[in-house]
Amino acid sequence: MSSLRQRAALLGALVAVLGLLAFVTFRSNRPGTIASALARGETPPAPLFALPRLDQEATLELSALKGQVVVVNFWASWCVPCRDEAAALQTAWERYRGRGVMVLGVNVQDLVPEAQRFLKVVKTTYPTVRDKDGSVYRAYGLTGVPETFFVDRQGRIVRKFPGVVTEQPEWFKAIDDALAR
């Protein structure tokens, strides 16, 4: 009888593991994710947000930037690759800001003093906001930092860099492609 109970318990555990695996697989491949949509050649709408700026007492709303190309870069002060990428973003900002392009930093998983110190060290001048509760991080389906999204003038995501990119030609091509849409 205990052999039957052991088999039932083992079968129950196996079913639970398979169910969890199916759930995780379904969730990561669900059609509504930004990464899945981009992989299918779609341009999903950028999730809107209104977040406090780190560099001044104000709130920045993504919807207010419609009509511009927006480069949305998620970063954290403890992220070493984010430090390397900040220089590339600053160069892109300086090159394109007069052409209707906004580079926007979104600080996540961080403390305000450390984030502000990071901005001073890397000498960025583009606007930066803080995602205090991680809601924007989740809405964009991030898997880590840094991650960067390119939003066209109509508010649709046209490209994503899922990780660090420090090569200027890659930034320039992604921005030029978004401007050409």
pLDDT (tens digit per residue) in 8-51:
556 554 444 444 444 444 444 444 699 999 999 999 999 999 99
pLDDT tens digit string along 63-100? Answer: 999 999 999 999 999 999 999 999 999 999 999 999 99
Q: What is the pLDDT of residue 29?
A: 40
Confidence band, pLDDT 50/70/90 cuts, at residue 56: confident
The rounded distance, in Å, linking the Cα atoms of 85 and 144 is 14
Q: Return d(Cα 156, Cα 43) in angstroms, integer.
A: 6
Helices 112-122 and 80-96: crossing angle in degrees, nearest 10, is: 60
Instruction: State the average pLDDT for the chain.
Output: 88
pLDDT at 3: 72
Beta strands 147-151 and 157-161 are antiparallel
Quick check: helix, strand or coil at residue 147?
strand
* Residue reference for tokens 């984030």: 115
Q: What is the pLDDT of residue 172?
A: 97
Assigned token pair, 145: 């930092």
Q: What is the pLDDT of residues 98-132, one digit of tens each?
A: 999 999 999 999 999 999 999 999 999 999 999 99
Distance in angstroms (rounded) separating the CA atoms of residues 156 and 77:
28
Backbone angles phi, psi at 137, to 5 degrees: -55, -50
